[in-house]
Structure 1
Amino acid sequence: MAIEGPFWRAIAVYRVASLVYAAVLMAQQRGYEQPVAGWLVIGVMALWTAGATYAYAVPVLRRWPLLAMDLLVTMACLLASPYVQGSLQGAAGTMPVPATWVAAPVLAWAVYGGRRTGAAAAAVVAAGDLWLVRTPGESVVINGAVLLFLAGVVVGHVARLAKQAEERMQRAAEMEAAQRERERLARDIHDSVLQVLALVQRRGRQIGGEAAELGRLAGEQEAALRELIASRPATPQGATDLRSLLLRYGSPEVTVSTPATPLLLPAETARGAAAAVKAALDNVRAHCGPQARAWVLAESGEGTVTVSIRDDGPGIPDGRLDEARADGRLGVAESIRGRVADLGGHVSIVSVPGQGTEVEITLPS
């Protein structure tokens, strides 16, 4: 991500500055019995600083192999310190050869993976630092380990927040672009397709017969197309707004009512619920006639989403559903009840002769 760039550049600057600091300590020869070996370690540090600076600047190389190599090289330079310090190891005022350079991989791990990976890298480096000290109770060493943990956790947290902010900004930009495109399409479609569909619907009703059925279908497609144009594009990844699926079934004979706020469900659950609603509406059309009225009401409760489908037909006689199931007609049993049961929900059907039928579908949200 582009927002990570400043973090990696800051780590590169830190590597160079801490390398210079380690070289200055080596030049003063304070606490180092084997300065030649020390300069060899400094040389390795310089080579790795150059290589890591280049590698981390290339996004495709920022992967776990590079991070693991970064930590291994740092630990190798740190664990070489006893051979450079000799008998002066642990003496007051002495530092390992890498000095503060060892914090660079901790920062890199934190930027890449967040708080936990930063803390894990800090634990490895701090353990190596503590192992080198002959007087573990020395407060300076303990303070250094604490600072490594704080750096890993804080930098990892800030980097994670920055990534999340960039993702939100990117989604917002995509939503805005999609909305602009939708508005452009709406302007183009409104004066052509929608008007033609509306005309077919009106003329079909006037002519009657088979043309009335064509008019009804044109009305359904007009309502679906209007909803597609007006629908909001933004939903969380992996979720679907059930409203947008239900509103497609709206027509002069079917009234769909939904809340103003999204009814977010897992994509598979939303599609299954919409298919069950369609099966219920198909039953209304098949058993009550094409002119029968139906009402679809969707609402959300505490951890549930409920969709009810009510019609003004003659109702279902007692025992009719059991007879249909025994005869192998499984429209209600499988297309509605079976489908909803597979999604973890349940269906209740209430029918009064002469007063219509109501099918209520309840799903976990």
Structure 2
Amino acid sequence: MPPSPTTGDRRPAGFTVEVTGWRALAAFRFLTLVYAVALNLDDLGRVDSPAWCVATLAVMGAWSVASSYCYARPRLRTPVLFVVDLAVTLATVLATRLVETPERIAGGEFTVPTVWASTAVMAWALRWEIVGGLLATLGLGAANVVVVSGQPTRGTVHNMILVLLAAIVIGYVAEVLRQVDRLMVDAWQEQGAVAERDRLARQIHDGVLQVLALVKRRGSTLDGEGRELAELAGEQESALRALMTSGSAAPSDGVVDLSALLAPLAASPGIELVAPAEPVLLPAGAGAEVAAAVAAALHNVSEHAPGAHAWVVVEEERDAVLVTVRDDGPGIPPERLAEAAAEGRLGVVQSIRGRIRELGGTVVITSAPDEGTEVELNVPR
């Protein structure tokens, strides 16, 4: 089935493979019409009924125009259109009995539409792929057998085999093109998401982050509530920067190696990644969330424990993945976490918990003065 239109898809109109396929069919229909008209007019003096021949060609021309118009518009591309297309095609094939003498038909004379009749088969193959092409080929074959009075000639069999092979090939190509079309839709959506994220990042950087940085810098020289406000601004600045650098949190298809996602974080001085030699596979969306949580935890280390060394340890269990972020900084006083929790202000810590909680996992934070901090992320598979 053709892919459905996607909201926000900003592809240039008229460049999808669906449109390309129907345009190619329309071009082939008119080319074969020209061939059929030329062939029949050249033979017009030898047929049994020139009037029926001209009438059949006129029907073929009118239907070529009408069907090409309808196929070019998705809302008109209904099953009724395909059935009518095949019915008109079969009628032009059967009209050969009115145009030609039995002797000329038995001698292997072409049907009136000749290769034009294959366009209906191709339309069915484009719409319903291989199965549709085979069904239309059966109908066209039955009409050709009727024309030759149940005694198909060698030429008839040869032509039907060619149409059958064409239906199979076009049906397969249609299936592949639709897969390509879906990939194009995904690519355009991803490109739009990246552009939107970059736009928001610029706005945040130019506005919110600068204000938070200013509050943090000015408030650090104050006492009491002013210093507390500066610390809160610093936490929110860290959270926003981690969000901006973590990429989109929207789930995506496939699986990713978590170790590979975390490797860029270990490129910073003072950060060491310890991971299994084998890939640690997670769904792509879950992997992105875990990597963002780890990035937020490491940013918190650099913010509150400058100069501290940090380790990111990845462990793979049977039904879960365990990621631990440890540092050798001054640690977090126990009352600090309790006070922040009571006031509903957990800053980056809350952003880490929220990400992992949405994945069905848990976060355990362990810290003591002068013993560093350990953030343990447990994510189920």
TM-score normalised according to structure 1 size = 0.59
Alignment pair present for 1:87 and 2:102: yes
Task: Report the AA paired with residue 154 of structure 2.
Answer: S
For the structure 1 residues 118 and 236, does the alpha-carbon distance in structure 2 shift closer, same or farther, using more than 3 Å as the test?
A: farther
**Which structure 2 residues correspond to residues 1-365 of structure 1 after superposition, within 5 A?**
1-4=14-17, 5-27=19-41, 28=43, 33-85=48-100, 87-88=102-103, 90-130=105-145, 132-134=147-149, 138-162=153-177, 164-165=179-180, 168=183, 172=187, 175-176=190-191, 179-180=194-195, 182-201=197-216, 214-215=229-230, 217-233=232-248, 265=283, 306-308=321-323, 361-364=378-381
The alignment's TM-score, normalised by the length of structure 2, stands at 0.57
| Equivalent residues of 2:106, 2:153 under 8 A apart | no
CA root-mean-square deviation:
5.6
Unaligned residue ranges in structure 1 (runs of 5+)? 248-254, 282-290, 315-334
Q: Distance in 1 between matches of 2:219 and 2:175?
A: 59
> Which deviations, in whole Å up to 9, do the C-alpha atoms of 1:334-358 show, x marking residues without a partner?
x99xx89xx8x88899x9xxx9998
Offset, 1:91: 0.8
SS state of the match for residue 2, structure 1?
coil
- 2:49–2:99 contact (8 Å) kept in structure 1: yes
CA distance in 2, matches of 1:171, 1:237: 10
Distance in 1, Cα, partners of 2:154 & 2:315:
58
Unaligned stretches of 5+ residues in structure 2 = 1-13, 263-270, 298-304, 334-352
The one of the two structures with greater contact order (alpha-carbon pairs below 8 A, sep at least 6) is: 2
Q: Give 1:21 deviation, angstroms.
A: 3.4
CA distance 1:156–1:233, shift in 2 (3 Å): farther
The answer to whether the 8 Å contact 1:75/1:125 transfers is yes
Q: Determine the structure 2 residue equivalent to 1:322.
A: none
Structure 2 Cα separation of the partners of residues 12 and 149 of structure 1: 20
Q: Which residue of 1 aligns with 2:267?
A: none
CA drift at 1:44? 2.0
Partner secondary structure for residue 111 of structure 2: coil
Name the CA distance, whole Å, in 1 between partners of 2:47 and 2:316: 71
**Structure 1 CA distance for aligned equivalents of residues 218 and 376 of structure 2:** 33
Q: What's the counterpart of residue 321 of structure 1?
A: none
- Figure out how many residues of one structure are paired with residues of the other and give that number: 315
- Structure 1 CA distance, aligned partners of 2:85 and 2:318? 47
The one-character-per-residue Cα deviations of 1:265-290 (angstroms, maximum 9, x if unpaired) are 487x789x98xx9xxx9xxxxxxxxx
**C-alpha separation in 2, matches of 1:148 and 1:303:** 54
Distance 1:150 1:179, change over 3 A: same
